[in-house]
A and B are shown apart, each in its own frame.
Chain A
Amino acid sequence: MSEDRHVLDVNTLIGTYPFRYVPHPDPDVLVRVMEREGIARAWVGHLPTAFHRDPVPGNAQLLAALAPHRAVLDPVPTVRPDWPRWERTLRDSVDAGAPAVRAYPTHWGMGPHDPDMQRLALASGDAGVSLLLTVRFEDLRQRHGLDVAGDLTAAAIRTLARAGEQVRLVVTAAGRELVEEVHWSLTPEEQGRVLWDISWIWGPPEDHLAKLFTTIGSERFCFGTHWPLRLTQAPRANLDLLPPELLDSRLGDPRWPLPPDPKNNEHE
């Protein structure tokens, strides 16, 4: 198994979760975990912000918390496209060196064809950053009675993938069925706009990850742990247990598209 597949974890968060206790969701702990697990770099969101109406204060907290760790942690702020001045939030995120921005349409009550989400997907692509979507934070069967947002749907994802050629999506915490429904509902060109993290895809004996690598291609997937909600060890274990013929599969590079002008990106 080639180690370069684990360089970048696209799916980490810091901060507390409103519906259960999560131990030590702090950036310094994340950095230690990454060192232990051989993860060189992580994209980091702010977990409480997913449940806030206005994401701006949470984004500020995120940037402040990550400031001492920018050598290995990249901020992924949240942009809510039905909130006033969201374009400014997106621009601030790009200026802060974010490789992607997060959005939570189900938490904001947005349907699969919401025009604001499509505008955000297009604007993010124009700005040279990916739009990171979260299918779920927790298993549907364990959710708190107040946690009624529901999982992100295939319809919502494919609508965004079809919105325009500049769109780049990184979809986290999806299972096999959702991946397949979206992938095969898109043209080959549209398929290339979507990258899936492997944090929630089953391994053996059902071998969902192996089947997806075979049918869709390993380059459509990237490394993600869903820390601090899930064990960091899970995706690596999944890759380690691929069938022998797939052990050398290469994951896709979530860093596309590269920043338009690397010289202006101080943290690189």
Chain B
Amino acid sequence: MTAAPLGGSTPLVDAHAHFYPPFAGRADWADVNAARFRAGERVGISYHVASVLGSYGFTSPTYFPSPHDCTRGNDYMLDVCAAEPRRTRMYVTVNPNHTAHALAEVTRCVARGAIGVKLLASRRADDALLDPICELAAEHHLPVLHHIWQHRRREWPNQEISDGLDLGRLAARHPRTTFVLAHLGGGGDWAHTLAAVKDIPNIVPDLSGSGVDRGMLDAALIELGADRLLWACDLTIETGLAKLRALEVIGMPKAQLEAIRWRNAVRLFPPGAFPGLSA
């Protein structure tokens, strides 16, 4: 007999997930992918909305993937979706420094089922080079999941500065595009982010990240409301489960919990992206 899902029996969309390809330079890539599915089944994740970040640093940097690695990674993600159509959906990963390639890659992968765009801070989030990608995303009703380091105002190696203020400027230029602000719990000061995006309605943070600061969920609900939050895990599914359990004990109305669990995702991603789920 299958055990009841630890995260509850109602639908659950992980809006920020990753899979590893064989060319990621780590011998355990298949084990990590299998572990995501194992834990996902145990938690009760209906859909993993995932991306592959090029070669994850093996042949080009994770946050600055080469066009070739973007294409290889996207091809692998397409393969995952083809092999696991019941439980996976895809963000197409692009590097905005290579505009023509990025636009072509979005078009190619959307035609094959991608439902969102993944940007990695290969360029600062408010850079004009992101504009054509965001316009194309709006045309296809694709949310743009943008990697964010909460409250990062100075340079660190391996990725460009991009925080809530930067993404806010981009989102203000593209009011028709939905921006998923990556991993509110993924490092940095989430309180800064909440203040930075509070008045920008087309920014929707996901709750993923290894960070499980007490007070973060409460503050996010107060500042943004349940309709602007997406449940997600990124690299740590156990913190996703912990956040689900914490949301339940906050005592929020069932409708708000369902909004965070899956209804917001159904509303923000292209129509029909999640068969069996309708808002």
**Which A residues contact B (CB, under 8 angstroms)?**
20-23, 36, 138-139, 141-142, 202-207, 227-234, 236-238, 240-241, 243
Contacts and interface: CB of A to CB of B under 8 A. Distances in A.
Contacts of B189: 142
Contact of B238 (A20, A142, A204): A204
A64 B151 CA distance: 38
A210 to B, nearest CB: 8
A139 B32 contact: no
Contact of A204 (B188, B211, B237): B237
Contacts of A227: 214
B235 A205 contact: yes
B36 interface: yes
Contacts of A139: 187-188, 210-211
Most chain B beta carbons < 10 A, residue from A36, A139, A202: A139
Contacts of A237: 6, 238-239, 241-242, 245
Contacts of B32: 205-207
- Top-4 shortest CB links A-B: A203-B238, A204-B39, A205-B35, A205-B36
Contact of B241 (A22, A141, A240): A240
Contacts of B210: 139, 202
A36 B246 CA distance: 11
A233 B212 CA distance: 9
B38 interface: yes
Nearest to A210: B35
Contact of A234 (B6, B38, B218, B242): B242
A21 B222 CA distance: 15
Contacts of A142: 150-151, 187-190, 211
Contacts of A230: 212-214
B80 interface: no
Contact of A205 (B150, B218, B237): B237
A94 to B, nearest CB: 31
A204 B149 CA distance: 22
B246 A241 contact: no
Main secondary structure of the interface of A (DSSP, over half): loop
Interface residues of B, number: 37
Nearest to A231: B212
Contact of B218 (A23, A138, A240): A23
A234 B43 contact: no
A86 B249 CA distance: 42
Contacts of A22: 214-215
A206 B236 contact: yes
Contacts of A228: 214
11 contacts: A20-B191, A20-B215, A23-B218, A141-B150, A141-B152, A142-B150, A202-B236, A203-B239, A205-B36, A231-B214, A237-B238
B33 A234 contact: no
Contacts of B6: 237, 240-241
Contacts of A205: 32-33, 35-36, 39, 235, 237
A104 B249 CA distance: 33
Contacts of B140: none
Nearest to A202: B236
Contacts of B149: 141
A202 B188 contact: no
B182 to A, nearest CB: 14
Contacts of A207: 31-32, 35
A243 B38 contact: yes
